[in-house]
Chains A and B, each alone.
Chain A
Amino acid sequence: MAQEFRLILKHLDQPGYTPDLECYLRHGGYEVLKKAVSLAPVSSSDGRTITGQDKIRQEVKLSGLRGRGGAGFPCGVKWGFIDHKSGKPIYLIGNADESEPGTFKDRQIIHKDPHQLLEGMILAGYANQVQLAYIYIRGEFMEGARLLNRALAEARSNHFLGKNILGSGYDLEIYVHRGAGAYICGEETGLIESLEGKRAYPRIKPPYFPAVLGLYQCPTIVNNVETLCAVKHVMAMGGAEYAKLGSPNDPGTRIVCVSGQVKNPGYFEIEIGKVTLGELINDLAGGLREKRKLKAVIPGGSSAKVLKAGEKFKLKHRQADGKEVVREVDLLDLPYDAESLAAAGSMCGSGAVVVLDDSADVVEVLANISEFYAHESCGQCTPCREGSLWMSKILQRLNSGRGRPQDASELVRIAGQISGGKTICAFGEACAWPVESFVAKFKNDFEAKGAAAEPEEPEPLKP
């Protein structure tokens, strides 16, 4: 029976745990920050001075912590891109625009333990010499924004924030910025544009990598809420200890949101790679409803490629003696970590597992997903702008009984014209991958809907 491994979520669901500073302090809050800001500079073996800030960055790099927002980019590497000598201010942005369908983990932290996020942010800010940081929170999180602002005020009046934090001489201010309700604001460069007061059009990369030309054209770090919280735990445990958790290439814990047709949907913090998809669904989320069979799992948010029940995957596994063996595993035996899911052709993404049982109509499911992406495409670049709505229209038509036999292959063709690095940001892939994977894996369902339909109009005359 798989168990949760609660690090970030350790306290927040305990009875009597409240989101105020006093409760956070009672549970050891801001102790990590106190320790971190008092780290004395040490001399390294090669004679260089390693400051406390350097030390934090080294620990985060050592921990191997990957971003929890969706792309899974190593946090320490991301921080390493920042040029501290550019003479420009360095900005830190906490990405709380949690908008990938199926994802509801950051909301728990913000609502129930906002100071944990603040502590993580202050640590990250201190490590990267940030003087000004923002929490970009999605517009729908009105209560979250209120709670964060209250927590910020508490932190300020207790010298965890503001001028001369805890007597260290370090100054940091954090502001909460509410979005106006757009999925694309979670894309880091779209977020930066939005924060600058513009339409959230993602920027072209090159040249606008946030680490170089981010907010106001200054070096900028954008980290997910959960990632920032994990930073606190990395510092609490030490990078090497943290790296021992989880799987070697995807260390630590992460919060997985299980939703869909399970008995006990919810969020579960697991040690990465130590829990399989089957355990997530059956042990933690209570399994499927009675008399239902699994049909498919979307393992990393709605943009992740769908995995079909009964699929077998080949995983490379390194044995104790160092030998690499290939192991075939069933979908439900797939460990939940970045590498295993990549090997299965999908991704952990934002940690949102959506479970579909055999009562689900996959065409309807995909139509729903595609409608979302057509609605959320920012419209900046051509393939995503036009392709996402086209796919959605075809799927709506299939669902309403006006499909054509060729619609399935048309969907795949259109998706192929969007994905593969043809768009400005990863939204192109986000809207194309579900279509590509659903149609490929459930071709019969799509073709059946297409064939069942009566042709609405006679074929046009051939010239």
Chain B
Amino acid sequence: MSVVTNHSTTAVPVVKTLSVSVNGRWLAVPQTTAHPLTGQPVATTMIQACEIAGVTVPHYCYHAKLAVAGNCRMCLVEFGTPALGPDRKPILNPDGTPQIRKSPRPAIACATPVSPGMEIYTNTPAVEAMRRGVLEFLLLNHPLDCPICDQAGECKLQEYSVEYGQAASRSVDEKVHKPKQVDLGPRIVLDDERCILCSRCIRFTRDLAGDDALGIVQRGSHSTLTHYPGRPFDHNYTLNTVDICPVGALTSKDFRFQMRVWFLQETKSVCTSCATGCNLLIGSRENKIYRYVPRQNDRVNSCWMCDSGRLNYKWIGRSDRLTQCQVRDAQGQMQLRTWPEAIQEAAGRLKQAAPGSIAFIASARQTNEELFLIRHLARKLGAMADSAPRTGEGDAWLVNADKNPNRLGAAIMFGLDRSALPVTSDTAPAAVGSADMLVGPGVQLARSGQECPRSIMGAAAERIGAKLPKIAEGIGRGEIRTLVVLGEDATKHLGAALLGRLENLIISDILPNATTPRAHVLLPGCAHAEKRGSFTNAQGRVQKFLKAVEPPGQARPESEFLVELVRAVTGEQFPQTVEGLFNRMAKETVAFQGITWAGLGDLGQGIAVEVLKT
């Protein structure tokens, strides 16, 4: 059985190039590049050519994902173009090379298109003098309050001061004073004296967030960034302006004064607040998470993420986390247990249960690998297994109405993978209902970032949880007497009364909920930031995340103890590392075929999916 991997479904357009030189090195650059907002081809600019040449041109206002403003003037470079004779043909040097006429005026690299034969000079004394001039002007009225500035350590003013700054100010005159601690909205504080008026935030909120909320008032050196009067700057993407602010003008109320950024350890991770799976960096220090910032992934979230996802990390450090393995004794009292004892207890209860009397509910917030182990266990035990849908409000940009970060992964494992006979497994296929979506051989690829058709997302949302009523019915009829719940509050899906009728309720969770006090065996699990694993996002992209902080108390990654549980129940040994487990899962699940943990890289990989129109 093989998966057809058709990578060339869309013809790659022939890229026309032209030749330019950057600091004397010639290279071919595409004539056009996609406009950051419209996607239309527009002339390649000098700064893009320099980037291709591996030459960084210092800049403040330019941002690859925003419209060009050209106002900071830091990227001024010198350039020359082939001199033309009266016949409009290039004048040649004696050695046959075209004579270059150096432009008497500099040009901003961010906005000036390249032309054939153009020579760009980014390191001449004149260019460096201009950079020193611009930096001097930018710092002229700047408060220079780096010691208490949250941007310190990731500030472009500081960065370029190393190369183009000077030790002392040449100004003896009073600085321009502007508003401080301006409350722009619920999440943003602005210091106008630090602002260098690059307009990145204005362009972002106007062009990308679609809310023309920020602007500049006053004139000249008194120009002041502000928000629309009487209206807070409060849409769900405001914190991106803090990220793109090259200086410390816009700060996050959540993060300001919390931690010096150079102490933060950065861990590549994925947002778990919805099925979009925005890539992010977790900033942590000494086992405490201080912030999330978006991590660029042009196939998923570009450079952005929503405020609600970004701030959804505090629960990880909550003091009421489940931190102990507990088992209910004969008197009905919960007793603390070690992991081997708790696993033994859980395995014993599962082994004693009659075939067909067990059901599994595993959250679509669990990782692909964890769900894979649950599926395996369920099949071995002849048990029903499903996830629970979790929906909320979505928007037209990054926020998906499906709030499960691994909705598609759960759909693949528990419902939709009709033909997903584990490739090398001898297990009979689990019975599933008719599926709108089938994952299997002969597939249309969503690999390499081609987005899945929207209908998949709809189908997946429908399919998850389809078996929950059956499970409830089974419990009601007394047929299902053992329930294993991972990361869900089962009272919400089945009702509290039904749970009372169970003989065995085995639960793993992170935080206490209405179900956890009813557990017979309680296993403390991990937040994604405390473990490694992968999610499959709404567009069918498998993305891995890494561990940023240690879990509290006895809490352990679910994949670890599920491997132990599977061994204790079935005697089978699954790989104990996440890498090994993922690769085993990929081998045994058609949808993940051909994907390896190593191959996921930092930006993930698309899976093979197909929509069956039935």
**Does residue B221 face the partner (Cβ distance < 8 Å to A)?**
yes
**Does residue A397 face the partner (Cβ distance < 8 Å to B)?**
yes
Query: B167-175, B424-432, B590-598, B604-612: which lies at the A interface?
Result: B167-175
**Does residue A232 face the partner (Cβ distance < 8 Å to B)?**
no
Q: Which of A207, A389, A410, A422 contacts B221 (CB 8 A)?
A: A389
Q: Which of B71, B108, B141, B172 contacts A380 (CB 8 A)?
A: B71
Quote the shortest CB–CB distance from A353 to chain B (angstroms). Answer: 27
B70 A424 Cβ-Cβ under 8 A:
yes
B173 A422 Cβ-Cβ under 8 A:
no
- Which chain B residue has the least Cβ–Cβ distance from A460? B168
Query: A115-123, A284-292, A369-377: which lies at the B interface?
Result: A369-377
B133 A378 Cβ-Cβ under 8 A:
no
**Does residue A382 face the partner (Cβ distance < 8 Å to B)?**
yes
Query: B212-220, B348-356, B366-374, B496-504: which lies at the A interface?
Result: B212-220
Chain A residues contacting B216 (CB-CB under 8 Å) are 199, 379
Mark each residue of chain B from 202 to 217: 1 if its CB lies under 8 Å from any CB of chain A, else 0.
0000000000000110
**Does residue B50 face the partner (Cβ distance < 8 Å to A)?**
no
B220 A377 Cβ-Cβ under 8 A:
yes
B173 A393 Cβ-Cβ under 8 A:
yes
* Distance in angstroms between the alpha carbons of A386 and B223 in the assembled complex: 10
A386 B221 Cβ-Cβ under 8 A:
yes
Name the residue in A199, A377, A386, A423 with the highest tally of chain B Cβ atoms < 10 Å from its Cβ: A386
B221 A382 Cβ-Cβ under 8 A:
no
Chain B residues contacting A204 (CB-CB under 8 Å) are 68-70, 108, 111
Q: Which of A194-208 contact B (CB under 8 A)?
A: 199, 204, 206-207
Chain B residues contacting A376 (CB-CB under 8 Å) are 219-220
Name the residue in B72, B74, B134, B215 with the highest tally of chain A Cβ atoms < 10 Å from its Cβ: B134
Chain B residues contacting A310 (CB-CB under 8 Å) are none
B105 A385 Cβ-Cβ under 8 A:
no
* Distance in angstroms between the alpha carbons of A388 and B219 in the assembled complex: 12
Chain B residues contacting A387 (CB-CB under 8 Å) are 137
Chain B residues contacting A206 (CB-CB under 8 Å) are 111-113
Chain B residues contacting A381 (CB-CB under 8 Å) are 70-73
- Tell me how many residue pairs across A and B have CB atoms closer than 8 Å: 99
Q: Which of A207, A385, A421, A423 contacts B220 (CB 8 A)?
A: A385
Quote the shortest CB–CB distance from B306 to chain A (angstroms). Answer: 28
Chain B residues contacting A390 (CB-CB under 8 Å) are 137, 140, 171, 173, 221
A386 B219 Cβ-Cβ under 8 A:
no
Chain A residues contacting B221 (CB-CB under 8 Å) are 374, 377, 379, 385-386, 388-390
* Distance in angstroms between the alpha carbons of A386 and B140 in the assembled complex: 7
A379 B70 Cβ-Cβ under 8 A:
no
**Does residue A233 face the partner (Cβ distance < 8 Å to B)?**
no
- Which chain A residue has the least Cβ–Cβ distance from B172? A404
Q: Which of B133, B137, B173, B222 contacts A394 (CB 8 A)?
A: B173
Q: Which of A62-84 contact B (CB under 8 A)?
A: none
Chain A residues contacting B130 (CB-CB under 8 Å) are 417, 422
* Distance in angstroms between the alpha carbons of A249 and B566 in the assembled complex: 93
Mark each residue of chain A from 199 to 224: 1 if its CB lies under 8 Å from any CB of chain B, else 0.
10000101100000000000000000
Q: Which of A87-118 contact B (CB under 8 A)?
A: none
* Distance in angstroms between the alpha carbons of A404 and B141 in the assembled complex: 20
B219 A417 Cβ-Cβ under 8 A:
no
Given contacts A204-B68, A390-B173, A421-B106, contact A383 B220 (CB under 8 A): no
Quote the shortest CB–CB distance from A183 to chain B (angstroms). Answer: 10
**Does residue B381 face the partner (Cβ distance < 8 Å to A)?**
no
- Which chain A residue has the least Cβ–Cβ distance from B222? A379
Quote the shortest CB–CB distance from A204 to chain B (angstroms). Answer: 4
* Distance in angstroms between the alpha carbons of A22 and B245 in the assembled complex: 60
- Which chain B residue has the least Cβ–Cβ distance from A407? B172
- Which chain A residue has the least Cβ–Cβ distance from B60? A382
**Does residue A152 face the partner (Cβ distance < 8 Å to B)?**
no
Mark each residue of chain A from 405 to 434: 1 if its CB lies under 8 Å from any CB of chain B, else 0.
000001000000100111110000000000
* Distance in angstroms between the alpha carbons of A423 and B105 in the assembled complex: 10
Q: Which of A182, A386, A393 contacts B138 (CB 8 A)?
A: A386
Chain A residues contacting B436 (CB-CB under 8 Å) are none
B219 A375 Cβ-Cβ under 8 A:
yes
Chain B residues contacting A404 (CB-CB under 8 Å) are 172
- Which chain A residue has the least Cβ–Cβ distance from B76? A422
* Distance in angstroms between the alpha carbons of A382 and B113 in the assembled complex: 22
B219 A383 Cβ-Cβ under 8 A:
no
Mark each residue of chain B from 166 to 187: 1 if its CB lies under 8 Å from any CB of chain A, else 0.
0000111110100000000000
Name the residue in B140, B171, B219, B222 with the highest tally of chain A Cβ atoms < 10 Å from its Cβ: B219
* Distance in angstroms between the alpha carbons of A421 and B69 in the assembled complex: 16
* Distance in angstroms between the alpha carbons of A404 and B170 in the assembled complex: 12
Chain B residues contacting A379 (CB-CB under 8 Å) are 197, 216, 218-223
Q: Which of B189-210 contact A (CB under 8 A)?
A: 196-197
- Which chain B residue has the least Cβ–Cβ distance from A203? B70
Q: Which of B68, B107, B111, B138 contacts A382 (CB 8 A)?
A: B138
* Distance in angstroms between the alpha carbons of A389 and B104 in the assembled complex: 27
**Does residue B136 face the partner (Cβ distance < 8 Å to A)?**
yes
Quote the shortest CB–CB distance from A221 to chain B (angstroms). Answer: 23
Chain A residues contacting B74 (CB-CB under 8 Å) are 382
* Distance in angstroms between the alpha carbons of A382 and B223 in the assembled complex: 11
Chain A residues contacting B136 (CB-CB under 8 Å) are 417
* Distance in angstroms between the alpha carbons of A423 and B107 in the assembled complex: 9
Q: Which of A256-306 contact B (CB under 8 A)?
A: none
* Distance in angstroms between the alpha carbons of A377 and B76 in the assembled complex: 20
* Distance in angstroms between the alpha carbons of A249 and B452 in the assembled complex: 65
Quote the shortest CB–CB distance from A80 to chain B (angstroms). Answer: 17
B173 A397 Cβ-Cβ under 8 A:
yes
Quote the shortest CB–CB distance from B97 to chain A (angstroms). Answer: 26
A374 B138 Cβ-Cβ under 8 A:
no
- Which chain B residue has the least Cβ–Cβ distance from A379? B223
Q: Which of B42-91 contact A (CB under 8 A)?
A: 68-74, 76
Quote the shortest CB–CB distance from B602 to chain A (angstroms). Answer: 35
- Which chain B residue has the least Cβ–Cβ distance from A410? B170
A383 B106 Cβ-Cβ under 8 A:
no
* Distance in angstroms between the alpha carbons of A393 and B223 in the assembled complex: 17
Q: Which of A199, A374, A377, A383 contacts B73 (CB 8 A)?
A: A383
B134 A383 Cβ-Cβ under 8 A:
yes
Chain B residues contacting A417 (CB-CB under 8 Å) are 130, 133-134, 136-137
A389 B220 Cβ-Cβ under 8 A:
yes
Chain A residues contacting B220 (CB-CB under 8 Å) are 374-379, 385, 388-389
Chain B residues contacting A423 (CB-CB under 8 Å) are 73
* Distance in angstroms between the alpha carbons of A378 and B141 in the assembled complex: 17
A382 B218 Cβ-Cβ under 8 A:
no
Q: Which of B98-114 contact A (CB under 8 A)?
A: 104-108, 111-113
Quote the shortest CB–CB distance from A415 to chain B (angstroms). Answer: 11
Chain B residues contacting A388 (CB-CB under 8 Å) are 220-221
- Which chain A residue has the least Cβ–Cβ distance from B135? A382
Chain A residues contacting B196 (CB-CB under 8 Å) are 382
Chain A residues contacting B172 (CB-CB under 8 Å) are 397, 404
* Distance in angstroms between the alpha carbons of A88 and B74 in the assembled complex: 35
* Distance in angstroms between the alpha carbons of A376 and B223 in the assembled complex: 11
B171 A382 Cβ-Cβ under 8 A:
no
Chain A residues contacting B171 (CB-CB under 8 Å) are 390, 393
Quote the shortest CB–CB distance from A90 to chain B (angstroms). Answer: 23
* Distance in angstroms between the alpha carbons of A162 and B98 in the assembled complex: 54
* Interface residues in chain B, defined as those with a beta carbon under 8 Å from any beta carbon in chain A: 68-74, 76, 104-108, 111-113, 130, 133-134, 136-138, 140-141, 170-174, 176, 196-197, 215-216, 218-223
* A-B CB proximity, top 5 nearest: A421-B105, A379-B223, A417-B133, A386-B137, A377-B220
**5 A–B contact pairs at CB < 8 A?**
A376-B220, A382-B71, A382-B73, A385-B223, A422-B73
